[in-house]
Structure 1
Amino acid sequence: MKIDVKHIQKRGKAGWRYRRKIPEELRTVFGKREHLVPLGATEQEALRKYPRVHAEAEKLLADAIKRANGPTPTEWGHFRDGIAAARKMGFRQDRDFPSLDEIEHDTDWQARMKAVEKIVRKYVPDFDSVEDDDDDDLPLPDFLPTEADTALARALMLNPSGTPAPTLEDAKRLYRKERVGDDETKQMELERVFKLVVEALGKDRKLASLKREDAKEVRDHMLDGRKASSVDRYLNVVRAVINHAIREFDLAGATNPFMNLEAAPKDRAEPDKDKRRPFTLDEVAAITARIAYHAKTDLRHIWTILNGTGCRLAEVSGLRVADVYLDHAIPHITVEWHDDRRIKNKVSRRNVPLIGDALQAAKEAVKAAGKATMLFPAYGRPRGPASASAALGKHVRACVSDPKATTHSLRHLMKDRLRLAGVTKSDQDIVLGHSSGSVGEDYGGDEARLEMARRALEKALA
């Protein structure tokens, strides 16, 4: 029997799985590019599980579509929007309620009440027929007021019920707006992490109500099926979001229960299978030969520059033509933050000399790029580094079966080359973009750093 059902895929000895690509416009909301669910080892088991798994996928996509069409404002969000709308009308919140004796002569308050009355008339057309002393017989509205009008009316009346408490969802949205911005990769990670947080806690929670036990619940839920190193990265995101919210929401006295919470004790050795290792020189030679014969020209140039500089893959695949300085006394590339490529941190911003084969590859890449902005147009885009990694990874795996050896192993190899050449730790950090933790690393000029990096690479590659 041959299965011919949508979204089912056979994976050799691994069995069957449900594989569904997420539409590009929903990937940020969904938090991933594909929805994958194991269906079992046999056709019969896969067919039995398919209806339930497919129904769950349909629901997830429907929910993602709703979120993509615009998130529903939270209580705090409505409160904030109401204050903003009142401010546009010229009404501020920094005043007190008038006393009964002051109401008649308080022009600001009278203007506020007229604005509220205007809102009410939208929903109660017969409002004029109500007598001043007939409050118990107010006509019913024709339809319920919108949340926006309700929030504006409350803001005009100085929010008599007080300020609502911001929640985790409010914190996430604020962080996305002020810190993540348009970075699609970080947006997806933020949504993915906070989906796990809500799963662990069962619902959106007020920030002030979070306890240490809640943080541990989130950590333990994240650890289910995930490596401790990944969970530590997720917890860093949660910590950053909550710290930002505590500061920006002025939550005086609030503490972040995720502080100093680790997925695993730092003194626990990382399993050997989870560590990357450097390539051997023979492995690099074999992979280079394979790439020369089987890979596209741009991948060959990327690999050669990685091998000759020790840069991260994203740092090279995201280079612009303007980042390559071939006419400088020391030909080099500049690793810099720009709209099409993010760098890991501030110290990663650096100039890296081009020597030997790396210099030749850069010259050929600049010529091939022509008038394009990006040095490698196929990979100088969002998710481009992931595509380059997958493409190079196939050539690496064809030559080296050890899973601890990946494209990033070139960077580990450069570290070993620098050490064995006797290059000082500070000069190694200049080449690789590592932080020494010293205040002194911020001192000195770019030209001097470039010269030190050139000397270090020449020693390492001799």
Structure 2
Amino acid sequence: MQIDLPYVQQPSGKKHFRYRRKVPGFLQQALGKTEIVKPLGSTHAEVLRHYDRVHKEAEAEIKVAMRGKTKKISEKTALEKYQWATRQVAEWGPMDEATADALADHLEETGQPELYRALVVPDRKAPAPTLADAVKLYLKDRVEATADETKKQQRIERVQGHVVKALKRGDPQIRSFTRADAREVRDHMLTEKPTPAPSTVHRYLNDLRAILNHATKEMDELRGWLSPFNGLEVRKDTLAKEDRKSFTDGQLTATRARVLGHASEDLQRVWRMLERTGCRLAEVTGLMVEDVHPEGECPYLDLRFLPHRRLKNAGSVRRVPLVGDALKAAQEAREAAGDRALLFPTYAREGGANSASQVLMKHVRKVVTDRKVTVHSLRHTLKDKLVKADVPEALQNMILGHSSGAVSEAYGGPEARLEAATRALRRALSIT
């Protein structure tokens, strides 16, 4: 059987196959290499099993470079070198003693220590996982191909840098972390220049916990290990000072007038929908036209996971009632979209919600000087209205996207939940 797939080669005299693809000249500097070479296995079955994944990885590298957002090329960790060398030697397959000795001499002479050790000492102990290993695994499993991938990657790398700088141990082994180390990292983050807000440090620690806990779950070498960063928090009283405020009635009236008088039509509609739904900004800017359901007795937005717009958590998947001016804005946006699939194509992209936020914040600051009042304050404002209207917490969570299994148990199926949420939102907004 002959393998006829693009970029598949079998080096002369070798049993193994590889994926070998030349990088276009204008992208070689961005990618830091002239070729993309990846192993495929030593049999036709292995090639067919691995080809689709390997080809997609290569396509992704090319695509990222074309966007001008090539990921920073980092040196392989000791564990990555160990794993790579072990796989490479396994692909060479069994060999007689004379061949093995000759190959070992060649590897030693040409300065390939990882391959030499893998060949000569196949049962050697694997290096202990380090923070860099955990970060790379987390980026691969949880960050790649998500909305705002670049921004998330930069934040994760910033967190990694804080740990390395605080502990002064290079790339620390994960099992070496102690509770004293965790406190040292937190205190370093709080005193770093320029001094970050406590809420920022809180987010950094959440990121670090997620990285380490994911590694504990996925790496066999870390099974049973408990992260000393778990339960480590920034003081609650300092965090409370960073909470965003709700709009006062006067601030909201002035800001609405400013936005509706100066912002683009798309952002005017986004603002109107945010004000009367309590949605997060990214939830609205990432809407598809088909997510808007303006018909029936209970019009709604269908918020779901989309390739260009990830929701914050499982509770964020929900139907959000459209009432009053939010319904009118959604209808206008849907009509303006015409045959487009995206409701707001200018902002339904990586970083789009941030761009919308920056523009809207300029309008907010024209009339509101309080730094704790932001675009996100619209969510807090609606939350206040729901509380004042005595809306049960379960219904509040259903509308705002903090729902749990208990909500569905209390209010039945999707239609019943939507009807209950619509009645509650109308009452909170005084819409008859």
TM over 0.5: yes
Q: Does 1:351 align with 2:319?
A: yes
Cα distance in 2 for partners of 1:447, 1:89 equals 60
Query: Does the CA contact (< 8 Å) of 2:86 and 2:122 recur in 1?
Result: no
Q: Which position in structure 2 is the counterpart of 1:190? A: 156
Q: Which position in structure 2 is the counterpart of 1:70? A: 73
Cα distance in 2 for partners of 1:217, 1:347 equals 34
Distance of aligned partners of 1:263 and 1:420 in 2 relative to their CA distance in 1, 3 Å threshold: closer
Q: Which position in structure 1 is the counterpart of 2:204? A: 234
What's the % identity of the aligned pairs?
43
Q: Does 1:82 align with 2:49?
A: no
Q: Does 1:177 align with 2:145?
A: no
Distance of aligned partners of 1:200 and 1:210 in 2 relative to their CA distance in 1, 3 Å threshold: same
Cα distance in 1 for partners of 2:100, 2:204 equals 45
Q: Which position in structure 2 is the counterpart of 1:222? A: 189
Look up the SS of the partner of 2:301 in the other structure.
strand
Distance of aligned partners of 1:112 and 1:374 in 2 relative to their CA distance in 1, 3 Å threshold: farther
Distance of aligned partners of 1:69 and 1:384 in 2 relative to their CA distance in 1, 3 Å threshold: closer
Query: Does the CA contact (< 8 Å) of 1:222 and 1:231 recur in 2?
Result: yes
Structure with the greater alpha carbon radius of gyration: 1
Q: Which position in structure 1 is the counterpart of 2:128? A: 165
CA positional deviation for 1:362: 0.8
| The 10-residue stretch of structure 1 (237-246 or 198-207) with the greater mean CA deviation from structure 2 | 237-246
Distance of aligned partners of 1:121 and 1:328 in 2 relative to their CA distance in 1, 3 Å threshold: farther
Distance of aligned partners of 1:118 and 1:69 in 2 relative to their CA distance in 1, 3 Å threshold: farther
Distance of aligned partners of 1:270 and 1:172 in 2 relative to their CA distance in 1, 3 Å threshold: closer
Cα distance in 2 for partners of 1:401, 1:246 equals 45
Cα distance in 2 for partners of 1:389, 1:216 equals 34
Query: Does the CA contact (< 8 Å) of 1:112 and 1:156 recur in 2?
Result: no
Deviations 1:134-166 (A, max 9, x none): xxxxxx83x423xxxx43443344535421111
Q: What is the number of residues matched between the two proteins?
A: 353
Q: Which position in structure 2 is the counterpart of 1:402? A: 370
Structure 1 spans left out of the alignment, 5+ residues: 1-25, 27-64, 91-107, 124-139
Q: Which position in structure 1 is the counterpart of 2:361? A: 393
Cα distance in 2 for partners of 1:385, 1:452 equals 29
Provide the alpha-carbon RMSD of the alignment: 2.5
Cα distance in 2 for partners of 1:81, 1:180 equals 23
1:263 aligned partner, one-letter code:
V
Give the alignment partner of residue 255 of structure 2, picking from 266, 274, 287. Answer: 287
Structure 1 segment 38-437 matched on structure 2, within 5 A: 68=71, 70-89=73-92, 111=95, 113=97, 116-117=100-101, 119-120=103-104, 122=106, 141=109, 143-145=110-112, 150-183=113-146, 184=149, 185-202=151-168, 203-224=170-191, 225-250=195-220, 251-264=222-235, 266=236, 268=237, 270=239, 272=241, 274-435=242-403
Q: Which position in structure 1 is the counterpart of 2:407? A: 441
Distance of aligned partners of 1:360 and 1:77 in 2 relative to their CA distance in 1, 3 Å threshold: same
Query: Does the CA contact (< 8 Å) of 2:129 and 2:174 recur in 1?
Result: yes
Cα distance in 2 for partners of 1:407, 1:305 equals 12
CA positional deviation for 1:281: 2.6
2:203 aligned partner, one-letter code:
R
CA positional deviation for 1:222: 0.6
Cα distance in 2 for partners of 1:172, 1:348 equals 26
1:85 aligned partner, one-letter code:
Q
2:303 aligned partner, one-letter code:
V
Cα distance in 1 for partners of 2:89, 2:314 equals 41
| The 10-residue stretch of structure 1 (77-86 or 250-259) with the greater mean CA deviation from structure 2 | 250-259
Cα distance in 1 for partners of 2:238, 2:204 equals 20
Query: Does the CA contact (< 8 Å) of 1:154 and 1:160 recur in 2?
Result: no
Cα distance in 1 for partners of 2:396, 2:178 equals 43
Cα distance in 2 for partners of 1:187, 1:270 equals 24
Structure 2 spans left out of the alignment, 5+ residues: 1-28, 30-67
Look up the SS of the partner of 1:410 in the other structure.
helix
CA positional deviation for 1:270: 4.3
